[in-house]
Amino acid sequence: MTRYRFTLDEDRTVYPAEGFDPSWNGWASPIVTRETLCALIAGEDPDGQHLTLSFAGATATLYIRRPDATHQFAPTVLKPDPAGLYHLAPLGWTFHVLDNTNTPSGHPGPATGFTATWTMDFEDAATPQDAARSARAAQTAHGSLATVFTITDNATGQQYLIDLLTDDQPDTYPVASPAADDGGR
C-alpha cells in the first residue's frame, strides 16, 4: 500500500509515491513505480501529442515537444533504482506533496543543507497554474539560464540573495529574516 501522494502543478489528479527525494528547487521530488510513471505521463498528455514515454528494458526515456510542435527538448532518461523505482527529480517538474506531514523527506526540504529558489514574473499568466506551467517551461528550455537565486540555510533559516551573473565573483546579499525585521514586535 502506498503511503504518500503528490500532484503536478496543483492539478486535481493525485498520484501515489513510494517516497520522496530531497526537494528540487523547492518542489517535491517523488519516487514512483513504473505504473505511476506511465499514469503520470498519460494523465498529463492523454492524446500523446506533447509527451512520449518509451522503455528500453526498465530504463524510461521521456521526449517532450512544445505545444506548437516547433521544438523538441532533449530526452530525459530515468533509470530505475535497485528497487525498480523511478526518481522524478530529473524531470524538473513542479510536483506538490499531499499529506506533507507524512512524507519521509520532510518536504519542503531537509533539515540541513540549502534550498535554492528563483523568481520570475509572469504578468500575462491568468492563473497561478498558468504561471507555474510557464516557469516549468522556462526552467527546462534549452539555453535558459537563471542568474539570481534566493538561498536558504535549512538549519538556520538565514536567506541570501545571490547573483551569479559573473560566476567568478558572485554578489551575495544577506536577506533580513522576518523576525529581525518586524520592528521589535
Residue finishing a domain among 37, 67, 102: 102
The number of angstroms, rounded, from the C-alpha of 53 to the middle of its chain's C-alpha atoms is 19
Q: Are residues 77 and 119 in the same domain?
A: no
Is 134 in the same domain as 168?
yes
b/e sequence 16-30, b meaning 16+ C-beta within 10 Å: bbbbbbbbbbebbbb
Q: What is the rounded average pLDDT of the residues 151-173?
A: 70
CB 44 within 8 A of CB 51: yes
Q: Which is higher by pLDDT, 35 or 102?
A: 35
Torsion of CA 91, 21, 8, 141, to 10 degrees: -30
Total domain count, the chain: 2
Name the DSSP letter for residue 73: P
Mean pLDDT value across residues 167-175 = 69
> What pTM value is reported for the model?
0.54
What is the rounded CA–CA span in Å between residue 25 and residue 179? Answer: 24
Mean pLDDT of 22-50: 87
**Domain presence at residue 29:** yes
Q: Which of 80, 102, 124 is the last residue of a domain?
A: 102
